[in-house]
Amino acid sequence: MTLLVATLAGGTAGYMLIEGWNVWDAFYMTVTTVATVGYGEVHPLSPRGRLFTVALIFGGVGTLFYTVTLVATIIVEGGLHQRLEKRRAARMLEQIKDHFIVCGYGRIGSIIAAELHQQGVPLAVIERDSDRVRQAVDRGWLALEADASREEVLARAGIHRARGLIAAVGTDAENVFTVLTARVMRPDLFIIARVESDDAEQKLRRAGADRVISPYQIGATQMVQTALRPAVVDFFRLATSSERLDLSMEQVHINDDSPLANRTIIDAGIRQKFGVIVVGIKRSGGTMEFNPAPDAVVRPGDELVVLGRTESVKALEKGVLA
């Protein structure tokens, strides 16, 4: 396209200098010559002008055909669509907020993304493999083909507006760098990291990961629990799975101005008003109280772990914020 514009500009300037024409006549003559439409000469040409026209025909027509072929190739092969798609994704990344950034879209990352999507949580994927990025985009998710350990990449993924980050890249070393970069950029961000080797767990925690998860350890523990207590495992799977939308286990944060703050569970009427069960209370200091007594006091900064129907849990969350 730049070459075609340069040809038109050069042709216009040539006719103005050689024939002394005005800008419009020179431009019109250049366009009709390059386009090979053959409308005739605007004004009689001098021998020098005819020689210039011959040179313009050979150079300009070739340039026009090359430009048309290039544009057609871009449209046919989907290049134009891909560019428009990238611009659209960039605009959406600038607007997304309260989302999770999933770093890595392998076997673990793809499952994480699917589960987040199933639960209605917005997400953005960062993956270096172009084929995996295409898979994520085909499923309708925002995805960047880039290195998740780079600050500019995390900034493009909206880390300053994100709810959390999940580092599920292929190796422990990559996850360490990703977690470290994210922690430097957002000291308050909730970060979960995948780990494969035992010695990398401490490195990830020192890098800034709030939780370090080993898929192999969780898988082995799940298999043992299923073998020994299948009914319990089935219950928790139903309570936490996104496929069972009529039952939900959630955590509800208690703010300083919450109506439930500094009240006992029975006085707050959580079971009576909302129809949910308080399974546990995670205190602001980090301790966990399982199956709290009815006279347990709910304090600001606590996290209530509740179980109930989805609509009841949502009603409780609204009541806490009321």
Mind listing the pLDDT tens digit for each residue in 160-191? 999 999 999 989 999 999 999 999 999 999 99
The pLDDT of residue 273: 85
The pLDDT of residue 322: 55
The pLDDT of residue 218: 86
Shared domain for 208 and 99, answered yes or no, is yes
Shared domain for 275 and 209, answered yes or no, is no
Shared domain for 103 and 179, answered yes or no, is yes
Question: Tokens 């073998």 sit at which residue?
Answer: 227
The pLDDT of residue 39: 65
Could you tell me the pLDDT band of residue 310, with boundaries at 50, 70 and 90? Answer: confident
Q: In what order do the strands lie in the sheet with 303-308?
A: 248-253, 303-308, 277-282, 288-290
Q: Which CATH number does the domain housing residue 311 bear?
A: 3.30.70.1450
Tokens of 23: 């800008």
Shared domain for 204 and 258, answered yes or no, is no
| Average pLDDT over every residue of 98-115 | 93
The pLDDT of residue 7: 74
Could you tell me the pLDDT band of residue 215, with boundaries at 50, 70 and 90? Answer: confident
Shared domain for 101 and 69, answered yes or no, is no
In a domain, 232, yes or no: no
Shared domain for 187 and 256, answered yes or no, is no
- What pLDDT, in 10s, does the model give residues 91-104? 888 889 999 999 99
In a domain, 206, yes or no: yes
Whether 134 contacts 198, CB under 8 Å? no
| Average pLDDT over every residue of 44-64 | 74
The burial class, CB within 10 Å (0-12 / 13-18 / 19+), for 317 is: middle
- According to DSSP, residue 270 is labeled I
Instruction: State the Cα–Cα distance between residues 108 and 104, nearest whole angstrom.
Output: 8
Shared domain for 134 and 195, answered yes or no, is yes
Boundary residue ending a domain (16, 48, 76): 76
Q: Where are the alpha helices (DSSP H) in the chain?
A: 2-19, 23-35, 47-76, 79-95, 107-118, 130-138, 151-156, 172-185, 200-207, 215-228, 230-240, 265-268, 310-321
Boundary residue ending a domain (10, 44, 76): 76
Phi, psi dihedral angles at 271 (to 5 degrees): -70, -40
Q: Which CATH number does the domain housing residue 26 bear?
A: 1.10.287.70
Whether 187 contacts 123, CB under 8 Å? no
Cα separations in angstroms, 260 against 267, 294, 304, 322: 9, 13, 11, 10
Shared domain for 187 and 259, answered yes or no, is no
In a domain, 230, yes or no: no
Boundary residue ending a domain (24, 45, 76): 76
In a domain, 130, yes or no: yes
Radius of gyration of the chain (CA): 32
Shared domain for 106 and 7, answered yes or no, is no
In a domain, 223, yes or no: no
Domain total in the chain:
3
Lowest mean pLDDT among 30-44, 217-231, 302-316: 30-44
Instruction: State the Cα–Cα distance between residues 296 and 293, nearest whole angstrom.
Output: 5
In a domain, 268, yes or no: yes
- What pLDDT, in 10s, does the model give residues 36-49? 666 667 777 777 77
In a domain, 152, yes or no: yes
Shared domain for 104 and 47, answered yes or no, is no
Which of 29-33, 65-69, 183-187 has the highest mean predicted lDDT (pLDDT)? 183-187
Shared domain for 312 and 209, answered yes or no, is no
In a domain, 227, yes or no: no
Tokens of 160: 């300053």
Domain that holds residue 250: 245-321
- What pLDDT, in 10s, does the model give residues 222-247? 899 889 888 888 877 776 665 555 67
Q: Which CATH number does the domain housing residue 115 bear?
A: 3.40.50.720
The pLDDT of residue 243: 58
Q: In what order do the strands lie in the sheet with 142-145?
A: 142-145, 123-127, 100-103, 164-167, 190-194, 211-213
How many other β-carbons are positioned within 10 Å of the β-carbon of residue 150? 14
Shared domain for 21 and 51, answered yes or no, is yes
Phi, psi dihedral angles at 121 (to 5 degrees): -95, 125
